[in-house]
Amino acid sequence: MPRLILASTSAYRRELLARLRLPFDVARPEVDETPLPGEWPTYLAERLAVSKARVIAERELGAFVIGSDQVAELGDRALGKPGSRDGAIAQLGAMSGREVRFRTAVCVQRHGDAPRIAMDTTTVRFRPLALAEIERYVDAEQPLDCAGSFKSEGLGITLFEAIDSSDPTALVGLPLIATARLLREAGFVLP
C-alpha cells in the first residue's frame, strides 16, 4: 500500500482521518499562513491546503499527501484561530446572533501529479450569546486553537441555532466525504 501522509499536526484532523481506518503518517508543513492582501477566505483556505500538501509531497516522493485548511468567514472578513482567551471571547461575541461560513479546503497531492482539490462550505447560525455564557464556554472548553473559537464536537454545539453542511466532518477541520473521493480519484485504494 502506498504511503499516506496528513500534512497537518492538528489533533482534530488526525482524529478525523483515523475514522477511515487507513494507516497514515503525520508531517508538519512549514507554510506561512498569513493571508495575502485582499484575499477572500475561500481562496485563502484553498491556497493553504494546496501549499501544505505540496510542501510535503515534494519531500516525500511517491506518497499520497492530504493538506487541509479552514477559514471562518464573518461578513467579508476572515477569522483565524483566536490564540488567547480574550481573542476567543471577542470572536464569539462578534458571531453572536449571526451566520458564519466555514470554508474548509482539502487537497490530495502526489509528487508530479496535479493537485486534487475540494472545498466544503458549512454555514453556522449562532444564537444570541450573552458575554457571561461566552466566558463560561471559553473557560470550560479552551477553544483557542480552533477557527471560530468553538468545538462543534463538544460543548460548542450549544452555541448554535443551526448548522447547514453537506459534510458534518468539515466543520471539525477535514471534510471526509471529499477526502475519500479525492483519494479514490488519485488512485489510492480505500477499504
What is the percentage of the chain residues whose pLDDT exceeds 90? Answer: 90
Beta-carbon-side half-sphere exposure of residue 86 (alpha carbons within 13 Å): 0
**Which of the four pLDDT bands, split at 50, 70 and 90, describes residue 174?**
very high
pTM equals: 0.91
Average pLDDT score, the chain: 95
Per-residue model confidence as pLDDT tens digits over 49-107: 999 999 999 999 999 999 999 999 998 888 888 999 999 999 999 999 999 999 999 99
Residue 191 has pLDDT above 90, yes or no: no
pLDDT in tens, 25-48: 999 999 999 999 989 999 999 999
Among this protein's residues, is 69 annotated catalytic?
yes
Average pLDDT on 5-9 reads: 95
DSSP 32: -
The model's confidence at residue 1, banded by pLDDT at 50, 70 and 90, is confident
Q: Which of 69, 86, 113, 167 is catalytic?
A: 69
Count of other CB atoms within 10 angstroms of residue 172: 22
DSSP, residue by residue, 124-153? EEEPP--HHHHHHHHHHH--TTSTTS--TT
* Domains of the chain, CATH where assigned: 4-185 (3.90.950.10)
